[in-house]
Structure 1
Amino acid sequence: MASDAAEAPFFQKRRLQGGVVVKDPPKFDLESYISNYDGFTRIDRLHHIGSHSPYLATDAYRTSIAEAKQGKNVKLYLALVEDYSQIAPNDPAALIDTAWAEEKTRKVQNEQDKLEHELKSYKNNLIKESIRMGNEDIGHFYYACGDWGNAHKAYLRMREHCTSTKHLADMTLRLVFVSIAQKSWMTVQSNLAKVDAAQLKGEEKTKLDPLLSALTGLAHMCLGHFREAATSFVNTSPAFLTAEPAAGIKWQREVLTGNDIAVYGGLCALASMDRTELQNQVLANNDFRNFLELEPHIRRAMNLFCSSKYSACLEVLEGYRNDYLLDVYLSKVVANIYGRIRTKSIVQYFIPFSCVTLEEMASKFQPTGEYASIEDELEAMINDRTLNARIDLVDRLLISPPTNPRYNVHSAALSMAQQYDHTLQLRLTRLNMLAAGFEIRPEKSGHSRDNAPSSFGEGLGAGLRGLGSKMGLS
């Protein structure tokens, strides 16, 4: 069945467009994996898996179509059925349920009219709390329908009717929720900054801190800011795992789970931190250790990297590449992250050696398909000035450029001598000026300001006469 799906028009078209198609089966079980999620992200992840993995396409699309029929998003249902009809046209789930679509569209329109009528009556009564809740209900409705633009506008209209800092924080978190569904990460960062700047105190702030840290890390990762993402994920408190819903959203199930934080944080740390930082800031972090226990292979990969076992580290990560390509957020950056980890590994591996055979490099770092051979990869790294080395194609060696320790020592000694000479000249000049009386002494007590200019002139004249006598002038 998987081989038939791989040759389906849907995946052939994706390959022609340069899209990613994961041929091999992943390590996770689809039913167990997707049971960790609820809401829109559940269908979104199923859609992503089905559209990228021929092996899981049938199960993923069947489940996502059934989930979509439980909601109000008719457009999403039609899009899922259209995609699935290009993969398994004979499957009953690939046929559009026209009666359901028409009935659901009619019910959705009636509900929209009702909510708009209620909001209009609230505005006529001029009750701020009722208007705020009316806009919130309409925002929830538009979100359920997949109309992100109108949902964002409805939540934004709540701002002028919020009467407490908690209302403002909840409204902004709703904007974050919609922006994540849109995958508008700059907007996510902007709204998270507003929540962080809200004057929340005590228990409310404590409850939101782990959530803000995790969501900030997600936004940074999707924008390619791996260092900032790693810092945010690593600093996420384990309280995130058991936190109560915020703004009516159970973020651990509707956006990202504790397992996701472990994977995202571990990979971003490997891509952006050196061995010392990994050991001190990640592996020795008691809070992040709670997340790493959920994904032992990430912890094992970091331990191998810190132990200079780079090929074993890369082998562990390659075993999970297919899983990460099927992650809705990680798939777009996984190639960049893996490339950075591989580049760091090659550079660190070569540091202790003066030369290494190309065969040894090829055996330690198996080609991943991005480059035709290890020579091409090393050449690209040298041209980018990432690797300070030279390639000897005659003897097939990777050679560290020669250094001249004697020259370095002599240069350092000469620089130090020049610095000492300059310092000595300055000190001698100061001593001569002091001996000649070229200094402004503080006023003595009892002297008035009127006498200051004359005493200064007399002191300067005496100093000049003393200098002249020393030079042999009468």
Structure 2
Amino acid sequence: MEATEAASKVEALFVELANQGRAVVREQPKLDLELYVQNYKGRTRFDRLFHIGRTSTVLCIDALKAAVIEAKAGKDVDRYRDAVDTLRQASRSDSEAEIDRAWIDKTSSSNKAETQHLESQLKVYRSNLVKESVRIGNEDLGQHYESIGQLQKAVEVYSNMRTDASTPKHLIDVGKHLTRVGVQMRDWAMVMLQLNKLASLEGQEVLEDASATRRYVNIVRGLAHLEGEAFKDAAQCFLSVDNSTRLASERDIPSPNDIAAYGAILALATMDRAALKTKVLESPTFRPFLELEPHLRKALGLYVNGKYTACLEILGSYKPDYLLDLYLYKHVETLYKQIRTKCIVQYLIPYASIKMESLETAFGRPGQSIGIELCEMIRSGVLSARIDSINKLLVQVTPDPEQSCNGMLWKR
């Protein structure tokens, strides 16, 4: 009875979330939640847990409970309230679903006192006219504002650091602070502005710092392009990330496993077979990332070797995991559709004509007709073919102003 009641509450939560336009994943994902979140620290760790908790019906309770604990380990009271409120909708029986008002009062009071202390300290530094002290004071205050969730104030204070920066390292710190907050705010215009400023500093650093900054810029620029659906540019960014042990310590940005997933899926959606072979599978910089996600390396190999159905099967089995990714989830359907379309087009290249039955066997999906999908591809100009509905054939044709599908004609 209790299990049934708990399941009904989770279902009610996801009905509400679906009505708000959120994607809902009901399949069992392959990721291990506990191992997964170990790849992240800082505010992005909460963001990922909270996203999974509001997306996966299977991981909902565990992810939301972990999000509550994560929020309570920090200082952002609003995040704690959001996580508890959502968990309460899914499960009232968990202890984490009870709001800890004593913690809220104590944390709010502590946050206010710390804000006053840091602001007063910064005023003293400014009156003493010591640039380095002012820079550090602004950094401390900015980090405090960021930790309590006052992101716009954090932007203002971090921006003030630039005036007192005296070395390229200081300017890099400013750029990274502002970029990080911009990503949290999803202000991608600000993110790109800061990344351009970081890139302009190249050559002013020692080699190790320059390499680390370049990796950081490529990763975050890839996220910005992904958000803007500039998938080819995003792929180039992620494929350009240099594999390094330094990367593992930067856990407030996508992990090496994420970079493997983003790079591989975006490349499959935007690159031809030759480029996938040379620039992805054989890339000395990206290949080490693929070693972390062997199923993606296998999918890429299958595509390059013309085994398209098997490639799509692998991608399909991992689709629930990618829908749980904080940045990829909004684009999974579009990217998967592009990859599937490419697979069908490539599969058809050797054939002048092919039975529709054969295409159903290779690419058919339960409850969906491959014919409708092929018609859409023909109409959009992706596929130069016509459907012979009498003989149930797909016939390849040379580019022509008119194409037909099920007896209908249209201009290409």
TM-score scaled by length of structure 2: 0.92
Q: In the aligned structure 1, how far is the partner of 2:260 from the partner of 2:366?
A: 24
The equivalent of 2:176 in structure 1 is 173
Q: Deviations over 1:13-61 (max 9, x none)?
A: 1222332111111011111111221111111111011101111111111
Evaluate the alpha carbon distance shift between residue 398 and residue 87 of structure 1 in structure 2; reply closer, same or farther with a 3 A threshold: same
Evaluate the alpha carbon distance shift between residue 5 and residue 113 of structure 1 in structure 2; reply closer, same or farther with a 3 A threshold: farther
The equivalent of 2:266 in structure 1 is 268
Q: In the aligned structure 1, how far is the partner of 2:397 from the partner of 2:172?
A: 57
Structure 1 counterpart of 2:381, one-letter code:
R
The 8 Å contact of residues 6 and 54 in structure 1, kept in 2 or not, is answered as no
Count the aligned residue pairs. Answer: 395
Evaluate the alpha carbon distance shift between residue 343 and residue 6 of structure 1 in structure 2; reply closer, same or farther with a 3 A threshold: farther
2:222 alignment partner, one of 217, 227, 239: 217
User: SS at the partner of 1:356?
Assistant: strand
The equivalent of 1:61 in structure 2 is 64
2:389 alignment partner, one of 360, 369, 393: 393
User: SS at the partner of 1:178?
Assistant: helix
User: SS at the partner of 2:191?
Assistant: helix
The 8 Å contact of residues 355 and 394 in structure 2, kept in 1 or not, is answered as yes
Q: Deviations over 1:193-245 (max 9, x none)?
A: 11010152332213322222222222222221121121121121112x3358x
Aligned pairs (5 A) from 1:169-318:
169-198=172-201, 199-203=203-207, 204-239=209-244, 241-243=245-247, 250-251=249-250, 253-318=251-316
What's the offset of the Cα at 1:90? 2.6
1:331 alignment partner, one of 320, 329, 332: 329
User: SS at the partner of 2:387?
Assistant: strand
The 8 Å contact of residues 6 and 23 in structure 1, kept in 2 or not, is answered as no
Q: In the aligned structure 2, how far is the partner of 1:129 from the partner of 1:165?
A: 14
Q: In the aligned structure 2, how far is the partner of 1:120 from the partner of 1:280?
A: 56
What's the offset of the Cα at 1:161? 1.3
Q: Tell me if 1:70 matches 2:73.
A: yes
Q: Deviations over 1:172-209 (max 9, x none)?
A: 11111111112222322221111010152332213322
Q: Deviations over 1:65-101 (max 9, x none)?
A: 0111111100000011111111112322111111111
The 8 Å contact of residues 10 and 91 in structure 2, kept in 1 or not, is answered as no
Evaluate the alpha carbon distance shift between residue 297 and residue 109 of structure 1 in structure 2; reply closer, same or farther with a 3 A threshold: same
The 8 Å contact of residues 129 and 161 in structure 1, kept in 2 or not, is answered as yes
What's the offset of the Cα at 1:7? 4.7
1:150 alignment partner, one of 144, 153, 164: 153
Evaluate the alpha carbon distance shift between residue 360 and residue 192 of structure 1 in structure 2; reply closer, same or farther with a 3 A threshold: same
TM-score scaled by length of structure 1: 0.80
Of residues 274-283 and 353-362 in structure 1, the stretch that sits farther from structure 2 once superposed is 353-362
Evaluate the alpha carbon distance shift between residue 23 and residue 159 of structure 1 in structure 2; reply closer, same or farther with a 3 A threshold: same
The equivalent of 2:409 in structure 1 is none
User: SS at the partner of 1:157?
Assistant: helix
Q: Tell me if 1:373 matches 2:369.
A: yes
The equivalent of 1:357 in structure 2 is 355
Of residues 63-72 and 359-368 in structure 1, the stretch that sits farther from structure 2 once superposed is 359-368
1:125 alignment partner, one of 128, 143, 149: 128
The equivalent of 1:428 in structure 2 is none
User: SS at the partner of 1:391?
Assistant: strand
User: SS at the partner of 2:390?
Assistant: coil
Structure 2 counterpart of 1:110, one-letter code:
A
The equivalent of 2:55 in structure 1 is 52
Q: Deviations over 1:302-345 (max 9, x none)?
A: 00000111110000000000000011111111111111100111
Q: In the aligned structure 1, how far is the partner of 2:197 from the partner of 2:210?
A: 13
The 8 Å contact of residues 8 and 86 in structure 1, kept in 2 or not, is answered as no
2:22 alignment partner, one of 16, 19, 27: 19
What's the offset of the Cα at 1:6? 6.9
Q: In the aligned structure 2, how far is the partner of 1:189 from the partner of 1:269?
A: 22
Q: In the aligned structure 2, how far is the partner of 1:108 from the partner of 1:299?
A: 47
Structure with max Cα Rg: 1
Evaluate the alpha carbon distance shift between residue 39 and residue 5 of structure 1 in structure 2; reply closer, same or farther with a 3 A threshold: farther
Of residues 4-13 and 104-113 in structure 1, the stretch that sits farther from structure 2 once superposed is 4-13
Q: In the aligned structure 2, how far is the partner of 1:190 from the partner of 1:403?
A: 43
Aligned pairs (5 A) from 1:101-140:
101-140=104-143
Structure 1 counterpart of 2:155, one-letter code:
H
Unaligned runs of 5+ in 1: 245-249, 405-474
Q: In the aligned structure 2, how far is the partner of 1:298 from the partner of 1:28?
A: 14
Evaluate the alpha carbon distance shift between residue 403 and residue 175 of structure 1 in structure 2; reply closer, same or farther with a 3 A threshold: closer
Aligned pairs (5 A) from 1:426-445:
none
Q: In the aligned structure 1, how far is the partner of 2:298 from the partner of 2:266?
A: 15
Structure 1 counterpart of 2:383, one-letter code:
L
The 8 Å contact of residues 168 and 205 in structure 2, kept in 1 or not, is answered as no
CA RMSD of aligned residues (A): 1.8
Q: In the aligned structure 2, how far is the partner of 1:329 from the partner of 1:403?
A: 38
The 8 Å contact of residues 169 and 205 in structure 2, kept in 1 or not, is answered as no
The 8 Å contact of residues 384 and 398 in structure 2, kept in 1 or not, is answered as no
The equivalent of 2:406 in structure 1 is none
The 8 Å contact of residues 9 and 89 in structure 2, kept in 1 or not, is answered as no
Evaluate the alpha carbon distance shift between residue 5 and residue 193 of structure 1 in structure 2; reply closer, same or farther with a 3 A threshold: farther
Structure 2 counterpart of 1:395, one-letter code:
N
Of residues 310-319 and 168-177 in structure 1, the stretch that sits farther from structure 2 once superposed is 168-177
The 8 Å contact of residues 351 and 396 in structure 2, kept in 1 or not, is answered as yes
Q: In the aligned structure 1, how far is the partner of 2:398 from the partner of 2:182?
A: 53
The 8 Å contact of residues 216 and 229 in structure 1, kept in 2 or not, is answered as yes
Evaluate the alpha carbon distance shift between residue 133 and residue 307 of structure 1 in structure 2; reply closer, same or farther with a 3 A threshold: same
The equivalent of 2:379 in structure 1 is 383
Unaligned runs of 5+ in 2: 401-412
The 8 Å contact of residues 146 and 181 in structure 2, kept in 1 or not, is answered as yes
